[in-house]
Structure 1
Amino acid sequence: MTATIEPTSHTSPAQPGRARALAVLCVMQLMIILDATVVTVALPTIQSDLGFSQAGLAWVMNSYLIAFAGLLLLAGRIGDLIGSKQVFLAGLAVFTAASLLCGVATSSEVLIAGRFLQGVGGALASAVILGMIVGLYPAPADQARAMGVYGFTSAGGASIGLILGGVITQTVGWHWSFLINVPIGIVSLVVATRLLNSRRGLGLSKGADVLGAVLVTAGLSLSVYTIVQTAEPTADLPRTLVLAAAAVALLTAFVLRQARAAEPLLSLHIFRNRQVTTANLVVVLLFAAGFGFQFMTALYLQRVLSFDSLHTGLAFLPAPVLGGVMSLFIGPRLIARFGARALLLVGLTALLAALLVMSQAPVNGSYLTNVVVPLLLMGVGSGVGIPAAIMLAMSGAEPGDAGLASGLNNTAQQAGAAVGTAVLATLAASRTAGRVADGATTITALRDGYSIAFVAASAFVVVALFVGTTLLLRYRGRP
Structure 2
Amino acid sequence: MVNPTDSTPPGARWLLPVLLTVQFLVSLDMSVVNIALPDIGDDLGFGPGSLLWVVNAYALAFGGLLMLGGRLADLAGRRRTLIAGFAVFGAASLLGGLAQTPGQLIAARAVQGAGAAALAPVALTLITVNYRAGAARSRALGLWGAAGALGGAVGVMAGGLLTEWAGWRSVMLINVPVVLAALVLARGGVPHDRRTGPAPRLDVVGALLVTAGMTALVLGLARTETYAWGSGTTLGTLGAAVVLLAAFAVVESRRREPLLRLGLLRNRPVLSANAFALLMSSGQFAAFYFTSLYLQEVMAYGSTRAGAAFLPFCVGVVAGSVISARTVVRFGERALLVTGGLLGAAGFVWFALTVDPGGTFLGSIAGPSLVASVGIGMCFVPLGTAATSGVAAEETGMASGLLNSSRQLGGSLGLAVLVTVASGVTGAAGVTGAAGNSRGRGALADGYATAFGGAAALLAAAALATAVLHRVPTRTGRPAKTPATYAQKDSSKNLGDDVDPGVSRSTHG
Please give the TM-score of this superposition, normalised by the length of structure 2.
0.84
Q: Using a 3 Å threshold, how does the CA distance of structure 1 residues 403 and 342 change in structure 2: closer, same or farther?
A: same
Out of 321, 331, 336, which is 2:329 matched to? 336
- Determine whether 1:97 maps to 2:91: yes
- Determine whether 1:475 maps to 2:472: yes
**1:135-169 Cα distance to aligned partner (Å, 9 max, x none):** 22024221011111111111222112222222212
Residue 28 of structure 2 aligns with which residue? 34
Residue 250 of structure 2 aligns with which residue? 256
CA-based RMSD of the aligned residues comes to 2.8
Aligned residues with identical type, % of pairs: 39
Q: Using a 3 Å threshold, how does the CA distance of structure 1 residues 77 and 154 change in structure 2: closer, same or farther?
A: same
- Determine whether 1:183 maps to 2:206: no
Q: Which amino acid aligns with 1:343?
A: L
Displacement of 1:279: 2.0
Q: Say which is worse superposed, 316-325 or 439-448, in terms of deviation.
A: 439-448
8 Å contact 1:94–1:118 — kept in the other structure? yes
8 Å contact 1:99–1:118 — kept in the other structure? yes
Out of 274, 279, 284, which is 1:280 matched to? 274
Q: Using a 3 Å threshold, how does the CA distance of structure 1 residues 236 and 202 change in structure 2: closer, same or farther?
A: farther
- Determine whether 1:293 maps to 2:293: no
Q: Using a 3 Å threshold, how does the CA distance of structure 1 residues 221 and 436 change in structure 2: closer, same or farther?
A: farther
- Determine whether 1:145 maps to 2:164: no
Q: Which amino acid aligns with 1:318?
A: P
Out of 346, 353, 358, which is 1:353 matched to? 346
**1:357-392 Cα distance to aligned partner (Å, 9 max, x none):** 223411343322211111111221122122222223
- Determine whether 1:313 maps to 2:307: yes
Displacement of 1:235: 8.0
Distance in 1 separating the partners of 2:220 and 2:342? 31
Q: Using a 3 Å threshold, how does the CA distance of structure 1 residues 64 and 439 change in structure 2: closer, same or farther?
A: closer
Residue 405 of structure 2 aligns with which residue? 411
Q: How does 1:188-227 map to 2 (within 5 A)?
A: 188-200=182-194, 206-227=200-221
Distance in 2 separating the partners of 1:85 and 1:124? 11
Q: How does 1:49-60 map to 2 (within 5 A)?
A: 49-52=43-46, 55-60=49-54
Count of aligned pairs: 468
Distance in 2 separating the partners of 1:185 and 1:115? 16
**1:18-73 Cα distance to aligned partner (Å, 9 max, x none):** 33111011112111111111122223333343344563232221111111000011
**1:422-442 Cα distance to aligned partner (Å, 9 max, x none):** 544465456656655779955
Residue 490 of structure 2 aligns with which residue? none
Distance in 1 separating the partners of 2:138 and 2:170? 35
Residue 450 of structure 1 aligns with which residue? 448
Out of 259, 263, 269, which is 1:269 matched to? 263
8 Å contact 1:81–1:201 — kept in the other structure? no
**1:291-322 Cα distance to aligned partner (Å, 9 max, x none):** 22222211221222221111111111111123
Q: Using a 3 Å threshold, how does the CA distance of structure 1 residues 429 and 60 change in structure 2: closer, same or farther?
A: farther
Displacement of 1:337: 3.2
Distance in 2 separating the partners of 1:435 and 1:282? 34
8 Å contact 2:11–2:188 — kept in the other structure? no
Displacement of 1:13: 8.1
**1:447-470 Cα distance to aligned partner (Å, 9 max, x none):** 344334323322321221211222
Q: Using a 3 Å threshold, how does the CA distance of structure 1 residues 188 and 217 change in structure 2: closer, same or farther?
A: same
Distance in 2 separating the partners of 1:50 and 1:20? 39
8 Å contact 2:70–2:122 — kept in the other structure? yes
Distance in 1 separating the partners of 2:130 and 2:289? 33
- Determine whether 1:132 maps to 2:109: no
Bigger helix share: 1
Residue 362 of structure 2 aligns with which residue? 368
Distance in 2 separating the partners of 1:106 and 1:396? 49
- Determine whether 1:70 maps to 2:64: yes
Secondary structure, counterpart of 2:100 in structure 1? coil
Residue 495 of structure 2 aligns with which residue? none
Residue 3 of structure 1 aligns with which residue? none
8 Å contact 2:68–2:401 — kept in the other structure? no
Out of 89, 97, 101, which is 1:107 matched to? 101
Out of 464, 467, 470, which is 1:466 matched to? 464
Secondary structure, counterpart of 1:290 in structure 2? helix
Unaligned runs of at least 5 residues, structure 2 = 481-509
Q: Which amino acid aligns with 2:451?
A: A
